[in-house]
Amino acid sequence: MDESTAWAERAAAFFAEQYGIPPIAGRILGWLMVCDPPAQSATAIAEAIGASRASLTSNTNLLTASRLVRKQRVPGDRTTYFRIDDDAWPRVVRERIATLASFVDIADDGLALFEPGDERAARVQAARDTFAWLAEALEGPR
């Protein structure tokens, strides 16, 4: 296994552990970050990461649906190529930040269930404060 493939495996393990991305999808993402050229055919990806075409198809569908990977066609070539979408990572981070902020609304609804001083309210408040702080810190200045 060469260094690029080994790195793609490390990235895949990270994506699987941290974000629940299926291992093959993680390997595809890792590979597409380090491969040259940046757009790869399904056959080239399957060879590089040692995956079957069937698993590659379902996992590239997952990645294209999530807009991390996009399909690319070359004029005069019937092959479909895959590459990391140009704004994939900033968009993923923005979407994660938005989910943090949306939990604040859920926590507010949870706080309404309890009287002030209720131990359960304190637990919900702690989560709310943490999510609100994190969302604000990551959002940065506007």
Question: Measured between alpha carbons, how far is 25 from 84 in angstroms, rounded to an integer?
Answer: 12
Angle between helices 42-49 and 53-65 (to 10 degrees): 110
pLDDT given at position 141: 52
72, containing H or E segment: strand 69-74
pLDDT given at position 142: 44
Q: What is the mean pLDDT of each run of 10 residues along the chain (142 residues)?
A: 90 93 95 95 94 92 93 94 92 85 94 94 96 85 48
Question: Measured between alpha carbons, how far is 79 from 82 in angstroms, rounded to an integer?
Answer: 10
pLDDT given at position 96: 83
pLDDT given at position 140: 62
Kindly report the number of other CB atoms within 10 A of residue 18's CB atom.
9
Q: What are residue 3's phi and psi, to 5 degrees?
A: -65, -40
Strand pairing partners for 41?
A: 81
Kindly report the number of other CB atoms within 10 A of residue 26's CB atom.
26
The domain over range 3-86 is classified in CATH as 3.30.365.10: no
Domain boundaries, the chain: 3-86, 89-139
- Nearest CA to 41 out of 72, 3, 2, 10 is that of 72
